[in-house]
Structure 1
Amino acid sequence: MPIEQDQDRHEDISHDQADQGQAHHEQDRASSISFRQLKLFESVGRLNSVRRGSEECNLSQPAVTQALAKLEQQLGACVLERRASGSYLTDAGRIMHKRVTRLFDQMEQALVDLNVPGGASGAHAIANRISRSQVRSLISIIECGSFALAARELGLTQASLQRAARDLESNLRQSIYYRTAAGVMVTPAGIEFGRKLKLALQEIAWGIHEIEVARGAGESKLVIGALPFGGSVLLASVLEEFLARHPAADLRIINEGASEMMKRLRAGDVDLVIGLLQEAPEADITNQILAETPYTIVARRGHPLTRKGQVTLEDLARYDWIVGSEGSSRRACFESLFAGSAKPHAPIATSAMAVIRHLLSGSDRLTLMTSYELIHEGSALAPVPFDDILPLPAIGITQRANWLPTRLHQDFIDLLRAHVTASTVLPLRQLAG
């Protein structure tokens, strides 16, 4: 695993300057660690030997020892135990080594997906040449939308940023930037490549976080996406218990529609998403089904249709409806329900439960809710007797396909699953595993 010594030496210096005074924060600590140090650590940890690691990386043993000592200082933890027979990963080292391995695996896969020359072997060689400063520059240009704003954000001159961009393209042996009247932009392929690199870099911050949690220091952070309706209901039902178990947890909850939430998930801005599952997630997204939760037609308690033996489509079409937002599964279900027949008047489209509850309780309007949502609405709303409505939705967890949850994330997921499994309120239909 040859390493570009001069490039990474410059990288170390620039990161030391950029992160001075902020080393106590996990993200800043993660940013202060160079790819050079991580590559050395991966090699020594895999080979259980500083000597063999130095030979693989074409560096002297003192240089490797010095780089690893600096890494341990930045992590605030001992990651290698030195013995006469070799160097072995400590408990903290095993945590970090797993994350570092995932970082470089994801980088190489991103390069393969970018169709760099040489396939997998070419991607491996290129991954060893790319520096953190090149990756950081690409991500900042994408997020800021221009070289000028990215340079200001990073505290660099535009000339320095342009040099990093050229160096990255030289390593990739293909163009990921193009010039327009508005300035230099990132190609769509470059944007997707940057997204994957940003996700890969999160592994280091999560590794630091897991080490801190393992030794009982620092707060644990989770960013949870809650989709409208079912997601917010399910999340609210477990929050008190979760915080009682993990009082030091730092929990951030984001509420968005399904399309925006999936963008945030794929970009790594949320860790996982709770709510009604999308029927056909993208290839890099996976679903965990917690329970089937059929759609039910809902009205205020005492609505004329709740007292009718069997309700028909014609009956439903006589009343105004509140429907889901365009593109939502709730809206699709409404369209499917009245396909081929007269549609009712539906002047209001919203996902705000407080608004829906108020509008239903003071009128004869109708809407669709899942059975899981309805059982948490108390006595103000009631189901309208009607045949089973298809398709049958499910509530669950959506996450990135290659995501490795931290222990805290896994505890949260296990609590969600246990809560749904333990529910005895019908008509929830539990699914195995």
Structure 2
Amino acid sequence: MEQLLAQWPSGPAKAISNIGTAISFCYKPMMQLWSLNVRHLRAMAAICRLGSVSAAAQAISLSQPAVTQGMARLEQQLGRPLFERRTDGMTPTPAGAVLCARVDKALASLAAGFRAARGGSALGGFAEADRLVTMAQLRALIALADAGSYISASAATGLSQPSLHRAVRELETASGLTLFVRRGRGVAITKAGRIVVRAFRLARTELQAGLFEIAALAGAATGRIAVGAMPLARAKLIPQAVARFHAAHPEVRIDIVDGPHAELMEQLRDGDLDFLIGALRYPEPGKDVEQRRLFDDHLVIAGRARHPLAGSNVPSAEELARYPWVIARGGTPMRRLWEKMFTSAGVEPPAAPVTCGSVLAIRSLLLEGDYLTLLSPDQIARDVESGLITTIGEPLPGTSRPIGITVRAGWQPTGLQQEFLLQVEGMR
């Protein structure tokens, strides 16, 4: 983007035009998704698996002409051949192989979602309702879950309210599930609805990844990377990785999302985030995610530069307990390490008058009095360099925390996502 802005002196119109081109090129695969036909994608996956139109048509209960026409339409929409036609059958091109792999994962998510939502109960509707899902229904259900009302979902997508109502009603009829219930002027999602919406989000994520990978085969380094940033990674690790990656791929959109670990985990499970970077959790959050350790971080005690303990090599636990602390809320890994620092020395943890998870707020509060806190050296490196904050003593033994990457189990990164992760891994 900087390269585009640099053209400003030679003509604002030209620069703005180029910026618009870059943005539209980045978003093209995402907008292209909603124009695709799920039935065509299902037929494509069947051809990849079985090697011929006739076998695929039989497997998905469509006529051969319908499958043939569907593949022609799909190739026209994507602007490239997906199969090599031979007398003995069909084999996927590189673009076809990439998309087939993503379609298989998307369809598997839909099937698993409906199975989980039905829970083996003898409900009405079809046992394999996932085979009836359309792209319009996929878009409508996600939009309604995001917006919380038909009015807001219509405004966000441009879809009419009647079409949104119809899409949800058809899904509920096909599956035998109640997905939303009215609540005031909006809607509330049911337990079954949450399960199905998550499956739809994961399917959308896989299909978008496939479209970005196809674009990459043509030399277009575009896409979106969504990073869940936890506190220890926000100060240095993620900014450095983003800066280096952006320099190499200025047209790739990078979304950095911060928030409590529990909220980021839900967004990861929904497919809205590609991965989380920060302190790992033990025991692990569940079998549906995988954690990859990068390095161990040792915490330091920090206070304002003129703190009474400034310059102390190794203050005792009794000395540390005399001062007010700003620390993370109970139940967090940071809070447990802080409590252990005192209890292991036989000292009762002092009262913490302020609990806070915002590093920005903590750093500002340290400057207002004799407060102490525990932070990673990376989080206060610039404040220490500027002489505003000081570390007290050495990095604390027993406060080691593993820092790493958390992804969905079975997640397959795109080439650009993998390149970004390599940048992160190379930071240490």
TM-score normalised to structure 1 length = 0.80
**1:393: Cα distance to partner?**
1.6
Q: CA 1:151–1:356 in 2, change beyond 3 Å: closer, same or farther?
A: closer
TM-superposition CA deviations, 1:152-181 (whole Å, max 9, x none): 544455444333323212221233334556
TM-superposition CA deviations, 1:291-323 (whole Å, max 9, x none): 121223233557553544542221101122222
Q: 1:143, 1:270 → 2: CA distance?
A: 15
Q: CA 1:332–1:43 in 2, change beyond 3 Å: closer, same or farther?
A: same
Name the SS of the counterpart of 1:393 in structure 2. strand
Q: 2:73, 2:423 → 1: CA distance?
A: 38
Does 2:309 align with 1:318?
Answer: no
**1:23: Cα distance to partner?**
12
Q: CA 1:230–1:187 in 2, change beyond 3 Å: closer, same or farther?
A: same
**1:359: Cα distance to partner?**
4.3
Q: CA 1:360–1:22 in 2, change beyond 3 Å: closer, same or farther?
A: closer
**1:187: Cα distance to partner?**
0.9
Contact 2:268–2:407 (CA under 8 A) maintained in structure 1: yes
Contact 1:312–1:386 (CA under 8 A) maintained in structure 2: no
**1:368: Cα distance to partner?**
0.5
Stretch of structure 1 that moved more, 341-350 or 232-241: 341-350
Stretch of structure 1 that moved more, 26-35 or 266-275: 266-275
**1:388: Cα distance to partner?**
2.4
The percent identity for this pair of structures is 31
Q: Equivalent residues in 2 for 1:145-294 (5 A)?
A: 145-179=148-182, 185-217=188-220, 219-279=222-282, 280-294=284-298
Q: Which position in structure 2 is the counterpart of 1:407?
A: 415
Contact 1:325–1:350 (CA under 8 A) maintained in structure 2: yes
Q: CA 1:377–1:49 in 2, change beyond 3 Å: closer, same or farther?
A: farther
Name the SS of the counterpart of 1:78 in structure 2. coil
- Paired amino acid for 1:313: A
**1:150: Cα distance to partner?**
3.1
Q: Equivalent residues in 2 for 1:104-143 (5 A)?
A: 104-115=107-118, 117=120, 125-143=128-146
Q: 1:39, 1:387 → 2: CA distance?
A: 56
Contact 1:291–1:395 (CA under 8 A) maintained in structure 2: yes
Q: 2:238, 2:171 → 1: CA distance?
A: 42
Q: CA 1:77–1:232 in 2, change beyond 3 Å: closer, same or farther?
A: farther
Q: Which position in structure 2 is the counterpart of 1:396?
A: 404
- Paired amino acid for 1:314: E
Q: Which runs of 5+ in 2 are unaligned?
A: 1-23
Q: 1:348, 1:303 → 2: CA distance?
A: 18
Q: Which position in structure 2 is the counterpart of 1:365?
A: 371
Q: Equivalent residues in 2 for 1:293-332 (5 A)?
A: 293-300=297-304, 303-305=307-309, 307-308=311-312, 310-325=314-329, 328-332=332-336
Aligned pair count reads 397
Q: 1:182, 1:319 → 2: CA distance?
A: 51
Q: 1:149, 1:195 → 2: CA distance?
A: 20
Stretch of structure 1 that moved more, 59-68 or 331-340: 331-340
Q: 2:317, 2:193 → 1: CA distance?
A: 50
Q: 2:120, 2:351 → 1: CA distance?
A: 57
| C-alpha RMSD over aligned residues | 3.2
Q: 1:386, 1:216 → 2: CA distance?
A: 46
Q: 1:306, 1:153 → 2: CA distance?
A: 54
Does 2:40 align with 1:37?
Answer: yes
Stretch of structure 1 that moved more, 51-60 or 314-323: 51-60
Q: Which runs of 5+ in 1 are unaligned?
A: 1-20, 421-433
TM-score normalised to structure 2 length = 0.81
Contact 1:322–1:347 (CA under 8 A) maintained in structure 2: yes
**1:248: Cα distance to partner?**
3.5
**1:362: Cα distance to partner?**
6.7
Name the SS of the counterpart of 1:293 in structure 2. strand
Q: CA 1:157–1:226 in 2, change beyond 3 Å: closer, same or farther?
A: closer
Does 2:109 align with 1:100?
Answer: no
Contact 2:301–2:392 (CA under 8 A) maintained in structure 1: yes
**1:230: Cα distance to partner?**
3.3
